[in-house]
């Protein structure tokens, strides 16, 4: 065998071994089994709030999506089809096994898109023209009629969809994390790395998506600006799940799957009492939690944050530490608990008015908050990655803000 053939043989063998190494590599930051501690103060339920069905830009019908959400072990999901004015799918709301399914909508306004949740009237959503003519006034109203629901700005800084000018006070929230936008930004930042990740996806989809996780710096900066003063802006994860990749216009493919997307990142609501399976009662609990920012965002593909808690204690009363309802006077004690089965290094940052207030490597934190301000929590974890990468700090958890006055 010539030296060139020998070299080629060794090279092909090396590539094969490397591909097998990548295929079976499993970045792990927690141990199994995952269980909630008996001492927990709050009940954690995870869900997805931005999903498209075949009624707009998605590939699956609502029954397909419900089945995928159940397989992903979600507790709740919102179908948010784009410009679905007749809302004919509203009758599909209900309980699907252990899943609560709700129907909301995403709508085009000017050059942007927004999500409208929990509205009980469609009068303001009758057509594209009605939206363009009437929404300027509606979004300026800080105290709108309750039947109009809440408004959340989708991918607020995405090129081509960026909101022009100041975001009006009537916009209740923004998608701090939008998975589709994040991957597009990664492509713009490093095409070589993105192409490597694309080749990795068929081999190890979980590892491929983890490589793309990053702190949405610009969105977080905007979010903090929108939470200054007496304004409260809710932060959401937007999966924008469609299960329809348009690689070739004539040949769309159903990847990433709904189930896959539902496992990448979710919104976790924290409740003082359990969901019961009774639709109307549970619906009120979930809606109230989302409208008050009583939830946190998590990249669940790193690990499901089972056991994470954050709450304030004021005297003998425990108060959920996220959302506008946790508006208490100083001093108050903040408790943060990370999952007990966490094996990777972690960092907790307590942010005050958009700046770092304190950081700690401890998995259990109690701190007295004596200075008035708007606080929120960020958690990072160090994820082991295979060559050519190395262990890297990655964002994991973001809570919604709470105020100390």
Average pLDDT for 106-115: 91
Q: Is residue 87 part of a domain?
A: yes
Please report, for the domain that includes residue 43, its CATH number: 3.20.20.140
| Residue 251: inside a domain | yes
Indicate the angle between helix axes 179-189 and 205-212, nearest 10 degrees.
70
What's the whole-number average pLDDT of the chain?
A: 88
Model confidence band, residue 254 (pLDDT cutoffs 50, 70, 90) = low
Sheet strands side by side (includes 112-117): 105-109, 112-117, 150-153, 173-178, 234-238
Cα separation, 49 vs 238, in Å, equals: 6
Quick one: pLDDT at residue 282?
A: 97
pLDDT at 352: 95
- Residue 365 above 90 pLDDT? yes
Can you tell me the distance from the alpha carbon of 264 to that of 338, in angstroms, rounded to the nearest whole number? 19
Taking residues 258-273, report their average pLDDT: 94
> Looking at the domain assignment, is residue 346 inside a domain?
no
Does 332 reside within a domain?
A: no
Confidence of residue 225 (pLDDT cuts 50, 70, 90): very high
pLDDT bracket for residue 1 (50, 70, 90): low
pLDDT over threshold 60, residue 246:
no
Q: Is residue 77 part of a domain?
A: yes
Structural domains of the chain, count: 1
- Asked if residue 377 belongs to a domain, the reply is no
Q: Average of pLDDT values for 274-286?
A: 95
pLDDT confidence band for 250 (50 / 70 / 90): low
| DSSP string across 263-288 | HH-EEEEEESS---S-HHHHHHHHHH
- Rounded to whole angstroms, what are the CA distances from 299 to 48, 264, 285? 12, 6, 23
CA nearest to 253, candidates 262, 244, 261: 244
pLDDT in tens, 324-364: 877 788 888 999 999 988 999 999 999 999 999 999 999 99
Residue 222's pLDDT band (cuts 50, 70, 90): very high
Q: Is residue 37 part of a domain?
A: yes
| pLDDT mean over 397-405 | 93
The pTM score is 0.92
Percent of the chain past pLDDT 90, that is, above it, reads: 51
Residue 121 has pLDDT above 80, yes or no: yes
Of residues 249 and 293, more confidence is placed in 293
Domain membership of residue 194 as a residue range: 32-304
- Is the pLDDT at 33 greater than 70? The verdict is no
Calculate the CA dihedral of residues 176, 177, 181, 186 and round it to 10 degrees: 110
- Best CA proximity match to 157, nearest among 212, 220, 224, 81: 220
Over residues 133-152, mean pLDDT: 86
- With 80 as the cut, is the pLDDT of residue 166 above it? yes
Provide mean pLDDT across the span 285-292.
Answer: 96
Residue 176 pLDDT > 60, yes or no?
A: yes
The answer to whether residues 112 and 102 touch, using CB atoms and an 8 Å cutoff, is no
Omega before 33 within 30 of 0, i.e. cis? yes
1 within some domain: no
Nearest-angstrom CA–CA distance, 219 and 231:
17
What is the pLDDT at residue 253? Answer: 64
Res. 210: pLDDT tops 90:
no
Q: Report whether pLDDT(104) > 90.
A: yes
């Amino acid at each position: 065998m010539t030296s060139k053939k020998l070299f080629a043989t060794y090279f092909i063998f090396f590539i094969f071994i490397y591909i097998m190494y990548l295929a079976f590599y499993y970045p792990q930051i927690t141990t199994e089994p995952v269980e909630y501690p008996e001492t927990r103060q709050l009940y954690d339920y995870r869900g997805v709030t931005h999903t498209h069905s075949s009624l707009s830009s998605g590939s699956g019908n609502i029954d397909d999506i419900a089945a995928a959400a159940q397989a992903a072990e979600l507790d709740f999901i919102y179908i948010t089809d784009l410009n679905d004015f007749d809302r004919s799918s509203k009758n599909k709301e209900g309980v699907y096994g252990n899943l609560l399914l709700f129907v909301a909508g995403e709508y085009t306004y000017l050059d942007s898109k927004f999500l409208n949740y929990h509205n009980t009237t469609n009068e303001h959503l009758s057509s594209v023209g009605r939206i363009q003519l009437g929404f300027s006034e509606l979004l300026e109203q800080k105290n709108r009629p309750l039947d109009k629901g809440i408004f959340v700005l989708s991918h607020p800084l995405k090129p081509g969809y960026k909101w022009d000018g100041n975001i009006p006070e009537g916009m209740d929230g923004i998608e701090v994390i939008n998975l589709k936008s994040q991957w597009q930004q990664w492509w713009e930042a490093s095409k070589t790395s993105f192409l490597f990740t694309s080749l990795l996806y068929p081999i190890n989809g979980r590892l491929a998506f983890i490589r793309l996780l990053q702190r949405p710096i610009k969105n977080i900066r905007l979010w903090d600006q929108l939470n200054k003063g007496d304004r409260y802006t809710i932060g959401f994860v937007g999966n924008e799940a469609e299960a329809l990749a348009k690689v070739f216009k004539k040949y769309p493919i159903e990847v990433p799957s709904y189930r896959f997307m539902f496992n990448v990142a979710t919104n976790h609501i924290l409740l003082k009492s359990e969901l019961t399976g009774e639709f109307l009662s549970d619906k009120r609990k979930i809606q109230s939690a989302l409208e008050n920012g009583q939830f946190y965002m998590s990249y669940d593909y790193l690990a499901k944050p089972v056991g994470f808690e954050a709450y304030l204690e004021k005297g003998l009363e425990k108060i959920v530490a996220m959302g506008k309802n946790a508006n208490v006077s100083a001093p108050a004690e903040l408790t943060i608990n990370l999952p007990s089965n966490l094996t990777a290094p972690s960092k907790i940052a307590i942010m005050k008015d958009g700046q770092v207030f304190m950081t700690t490597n401890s998995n259990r934190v109690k701190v007295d908050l004596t200075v008035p301000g708007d606080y929120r929590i960020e958690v990072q974890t160090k994820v082991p990655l295979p060559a050519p990468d190395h262990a890297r700090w990655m964002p994991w958890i973001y809570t919604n803000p709470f105020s100390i006055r």
